[in-house]
Structures are given as C-alpha cells and as structure tokens.
Structure 1
C-alpha cells in the first residue's frame, strides 16, 4: 500500500469509530427531545384544565367523542398541537378513544397530500397501542402513515382515571439530525 492509501484507510477507520461513538448520542438526544416535547404537550393541556369527554363531534367525516381540556374543545382545534411544535419541533397529536379505536382529532402529522391526518386512527396492531392497552406510556420508533418516527405516546385520563385519549409527540426519523442539532 502506498502512504496515500494507508492515510485514506486510517481516515476511513477513524470516521467509522467517531460515527459509532456519536450514534448512541443521537438516539439519546432524540429520546430527550421526545420526552421534552411530551412534557410541553401535557403541561399546556393541563393549563387548559382537566381532560374530559362531552358529546360527539365530526372529525374528517367521522363522528367521535369530543375531548376537552377544561372548557377548550380539542377536536379540530390545532392551537395546542401547533404550539408544541413551535416550541419543540416535530409533530404532536391528541387522540380520542372512540370504541376500540384511537382517532386523531387534533394533529399536525401530515398525509402524503400535505393535509392534516385528522380522522386517521392509531395502528391497532402497532407497538404503541400495546402499551396504551396496558395503561402505560410508549417511547420508541413506529411507523406512522407509512413513515418512520421516533415517538412518545401517553394515556390521557379523565377525573375517574379512565383512559379517554392519547397524547402523542414524535419526530420523523429523517429529521433526527435537525431535531438534535446534528446534520
């Protein structure tokens, strides 16, 4: 090997070692971002008042229970989820429990056509729903409408501790570098 080839090989190995050392930090930073965004979403919702269901409302052509925080109806109201994104980037959603499904009633997750994915349901066979059914939070990577996201899901409970919905925050995996300040 020539000295130039040796230098290239050493540089390549050094880059791989540095990348291997940084990847866990990217994952940890992303997990920190998800938890911070979840804290923001819960805190802002709690500021509005306690969660409750009252009546029904049409969301993207589906009749679903209306979820409120205090006197603020959340169905088709994007102020809360959009404010979370202003503060923490990523995406945010409020799901309402409708029978055995959880329906997006306020979200900034987008469909392929760029519209908000209201009226879509949480994957009934996905990893997140398994935790929610056990009355537990879920943090991890999931597929949302065909795209991978690093996510957090937490049950929303009413005053009787019944699960009436789900808080969601997440980051598309292709934006992990931007969300963590790395490119």
Structure 2
C-alpha cells in the first residue's frame, strides 16, 4: 500500500510538473528571433571577417565603414533584406561610431516609410546596457516608438573588439 501510494504521488508530481507553463523570461529568446539572428550572422560570416575601415556617409552622417571581408555593408541592404525575406521581421547592422551605434544597413522603417539608416541605437535603452558590456540582449524594446521583440548581439573584429551590433526583431501585434 505504501509503495503504491508513493508511486501515485510521484506520478501526480511528474504530470503536474510536465504541464506547468513556461515563461519566455526563463526560456530564452523566442525561436523566430533566435533563428533570424543565426541567419543574419551566417550570411555576414560568408562574406568574411568583420572590420571597420575609413569613413563613410550614411544618411548625411559620417561614420566608420563596416566591412565583412571586402564587402562594405554601409548603405548595402542585400543581407538585411535577404534575412527579412526568409524570416520576416526586421534586421539591422549597426557600426560603432564613438559612443554610439549607428544603423548603416536596415529594413526598419521610419514613419515616412524610408529606411531608418543613420539613426542610433537608443543610448538609454535596455539593449545598449548589455552591448556596452559585450553581451547579447534578447527581449522587448521600443524602436522608433514601436514595440518589438528583439535580439542584439555584438559584432566583434579579429581583435575581439566590438565594432558594431547585429539586430533582428519582430513588431509586436
């Protein structure tokens, strides 16, 4: 009797644990954000190692040139648009310019429908706190006044210095 009661309690506990809800906070980034981030990183990696070279103008702003191999990504939307076409959502590459991270390739749109190139990663936002420590950030943030579920990861050059940021995100409904 004692053994069958113990088996019943064990079964109830096991089933109860199996059906408990899991929150996204403890489960890590949503699968679509994680998959889109991996796709963005793999597409840029195929071009070569990241580096910054020289100066370039993006939306009237002088910023360093962000390169992967010999391909300059400033004002080059091929990779971010391919990620959007394959995964939906939005994708951006930021370059580090002084203390700011500037969008140099993006399909995030401003209210007028134009690409938000030349705009900066929110200096008071949640993502910059993690990026400043060389860490990734996955979570909900406001981008240009709209709520997104996002992922941000540092872009590191061959000397392991953070030279930019990978971003992917999905507009929250």
TM-score range, shorter chain: 0.7 to 0.9
CA distance in 1, matches of 2:21, 2:86: 25
CA distance in 2, matches of 1:114, 1:120: 14
- Map Cα deviations across residues 34-65 of structure 1 (whole Å, 9 max, x no partner): 00000000000000000000101000000000
**Alignment TM-score, normalising by the size of structure 2:** 0.84
CA distance in 2, matches of 1:24, 1:154: 22
Question: Which residue of structure 1 aligns with residue 99 of structure 2?
Answer: 100
Question: Which residue of structure 2 aligns with residue 31 of structure 1?
Answer: 30
- Asked if 1:139 corresponds to 2:141, the answer is no
Q: Mind listing any 5+ residue stretches in structure 1 that lack a counterpart? A: 1-20, 175-183
Tell me how far 1:22 sits from its aligned partner.
9.1
CA distance in 2, matches of 1:31, 1:141: 11
Alignment check: 8 A CA contact 2:65 2:73 kept: yes
Change (3 A) 1:57 1:148: same
Question: Which residue of structure 2 aligns with residue 109 of structure 1?
Answer: 108
- Corresponding residue SS for 1:143: strand
Alignment check: 8 A CA contact 2:56 2:62 kept: yes
1:9-48 mapped onto 2 (5 Å cutoff): 31-48=30-47
Alignment check: 8 A CA contact 2:136 2:153 kept: yes
Residue correspondences, number: 153
Please, what is the CA RMSD of the aligned residues? 1.9
**Alignment TM-score, normalising by the size of structure 1:** 0.80
Tell me how far 1:29 sits from its aligned partner.
10
CA distance in 2, matches of 1:150, 1:56: 32
- Asked if 1:170 corresponds to 2:169, the answer is yes
Question: Which residue of structure 2 aligns with residue 79 of structure 1?
Answer: 78
Question: Which residue of structure 2 aligns with residue 179 of structure 1?
Answer: none
CA distance in 2, matches of 1:139, 1:151: 6
Change (3 A) 1:29 1:37: same
- Corresponding residue SS for 2:102: strand
Tell me how far 1:82 sits from its aligned partner.
0.2
Question: Which residue of structure 2 aligns with residue 65 of structure 1?
Answer: 64
Tell me how far 1:30 sits from its aligned partner.
7.1
- Corresponding residue SS for 1:36: helix
Is the helix fraction higher in 1 or 2? 1
CA distance in 2, matches of 1:171, 1:23: 21
Q: Mind listing any 5+ residue stretches in structure 2 that lack a counterpart? A: 1-19
Tell me how far 1:23 sits from its aligned partner.
9.8
